[in-house]
């Protein structure tokens, strides 16, 4: 565009920091280091088919899933970038059973803790489907100068200072919020910078896309079965039937629905009474972004951000997206309770 001047992630974050009179740049530095790790992971993901990093790393992660080499690589990159920031005292990660605490004095002074799924959807790596990093940032509760403790990580989602995701897709994008709206940055590989491309993202109150693994239909709660039938009925006044879109990669499914409008559902089933997705580093950050964009995020009967976590890797049923769509499925769940 004539006269259009790109705004990099760093410029945007510093500009926004200036609006916080007491901000001393810690969060700015943290977001900058997240960006560095994201660029490094982007390079590896983009070459995944070419270098020998596909296939299982041999290890198995805390979820009992085969740990792909790219998972391990992404986990390591974000941990080292966050240690380098000097602002983060510890990390909770899908790839690590226990919290990762930093021993150096600088990091122990860090005000923030970080939760992440370093490479969500990694089973899609080998088939070239978009995957993502999901992250969440809190202020620590334990005293600075000490190593963080588990309680620092078990805070309800409403306490998040920032949350975001990086989607490694047809382009690599970082989308994040600090509680003042949602902004998206696209990686311009020609200059190696994330550049502001989606300022002030809002999600439509109504959408025409529903995303759920219908292969599990027989195991779904009655209210979910009724909602899926509702989506498939013909009713032009409500633009139904909706489109079914499900790629099996949370960040990819969520990002599409965020921009276009839609609902993403991963419900509880008889086999998995708490669903599959993890509260701390998948549902909470996505819920924060959803609400900041004008949508809704629920466990089916409770606001995700108000749930007090019990454990680092706990799972929770997840209904998120366009406000009216989430409220519709919640009402059907309630009627069938």
**List of residues contacting ligand P6P (CB under 6 A):** 120-121, 123, 213, 248-250, 253, 276
Nearest to 274 by CA among 307, 318, 328, 311: 318
Collapsing DSSP states into helix, strand and coil, what is residue 194?
strand
Minimum CB separation of residue 13 from ligand P6P in Å reads 27
Helix, strand, coil percent values for the chain (each to nearest 5): 35, 25, 40
Could you tell me which residues come within 8 angstroms of residue 335 by beta carbon, excluding any fewer than 6 positions away?
223
Q: 295 is written with which tokens?
A: 């949508």
Could you tell me which residues come within 8 angstroms of residue 186 by beta carbon, excluding any fewer than 6 positions away?
171, 172, 173, 194, 195, 197, 198
Nearer to ligand P6P, 133 or 226 (CB): 133
Tokens 């629920």 -> residue: 298
Nearer to ligand P6P, 37 or 252 (CB): 252
Nearer to ligand P6P, 35 or 121 (CB): 121
**To 10 degrees, the CA torsion angle through 58, 75, 284, 278?**
10
Minimum CB separation of residue 115 from ligand P6P in Å reads 15
Nearer to ligand P6P, 120 or 268 (CB): 120
Minimum CB separation of residue 167 from ligand P6P in Å reads 11
Minimum CB separation of residue 281 from ligand P6P in Å reads 11
Q: What angle do CA 48, 187, 262 make, to 5 degrees?
A: 90
Nearer to ligand P6P, 118 or 121 (CB): 121
Nearer to ligand P6P, 31 or 250 (CB): 250
Minimum CB separation of residue 199 from ligand P6P in Å reads 26
Nearer to ligand P6P, 276 or 296 (CB): 276
Number of other residues whose CB lies within 10 A of the CB of residue 16? 17
Tokens 């969500």 -> residue: 120
Minimum CB separation of residue 301 from ligand P6P in Å reads 21
Minimum CB separation of residue 277 from ligand P6P in Å reads 6
In whole angstroms, what is the distance from residue 27 CA to residue 48 CA? 31
Nearer to ligand P6P, 29 or 276 (CB): 276
Determine phi and psi for 99, rounding to 5 degrees: -65, 150
Minimum CB separation of residue 103 from ligand P6P in Å reads 31
Could you tell me which residues come within 8 angstroms of residue 68 by beta carbon, excluding any fewer than 6 positions away?
54, 55, 56, 57, 119, 122, 123, 125
Determine contact, residues 91/136, Cβ cutoff 8 Å.
no
């Amino acid at each position: 565009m004539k006269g259009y001047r790109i705004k990099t992630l760093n410029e945007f974050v510093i500009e926004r920091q200036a609006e916080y009179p007491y901000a001393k740049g810690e969060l700015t530095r943290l977001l900058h280091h997240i960006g560095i790790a994201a660029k490094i992971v982007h390079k590896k993901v983009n070459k995944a088919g070419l270098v020998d990093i596909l296939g299982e790393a041999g290890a198995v992660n805390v979820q009992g899933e085969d740990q792909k080499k790219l998972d391990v690589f992404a986990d390591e990159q974000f941990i080292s970038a966050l240690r380098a920031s000097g602002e983060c005292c510890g990390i909770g990660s899908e790839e690590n059973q226990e919290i990762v605490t930093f021993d150096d004095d600088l990091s122990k002074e860090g005000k923030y803790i970080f939760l992440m799924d370093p490479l969500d959807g990694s089973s899609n790596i080998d088939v070239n489907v978009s995957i993502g990093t999901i992250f969440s940032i809190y202020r620590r509760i334990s005293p600075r100068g000490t190593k963080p403790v588990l309680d620092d990580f078990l805070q309800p989602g409403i306490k998040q200072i920032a949350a975001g995701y990086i989607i490694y897709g047809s382009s690599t994008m970082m989308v994040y919020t600090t509680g003042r709206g949602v902004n998206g940055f696209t990686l311009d590989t020609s200059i190696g910078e994330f550049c502001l491309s989606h300022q002030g993202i809002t999600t439509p109150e109504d959408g025409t896309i529903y995303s759920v693994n219908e292969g599990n239909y027989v195991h779904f709660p009655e209210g979910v079965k009724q909602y899926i039938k509702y989506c498939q009925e013909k009713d032009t006044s409500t633009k139904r039937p909706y489109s079914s879109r499900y790629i099996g990669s949370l960040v990819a499914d969520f990002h599409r629905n965020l921009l276009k409008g839609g609902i993403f559902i991963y419900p509880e089933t008889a086999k998995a009474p708490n669903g599959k997705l993890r509260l701390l580093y998948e549902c909470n950050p996505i819920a924060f972004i959803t609400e900041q964009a004008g949508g809704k995020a629920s466990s089916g009967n409770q606001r995700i951000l108000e749930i007090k976590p019990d454990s680092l890797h706990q799972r929770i049923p997840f209904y998120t997206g366009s406000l009216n769509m989430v409220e519709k499925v919640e009402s059907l769940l309630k009627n069938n309770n």
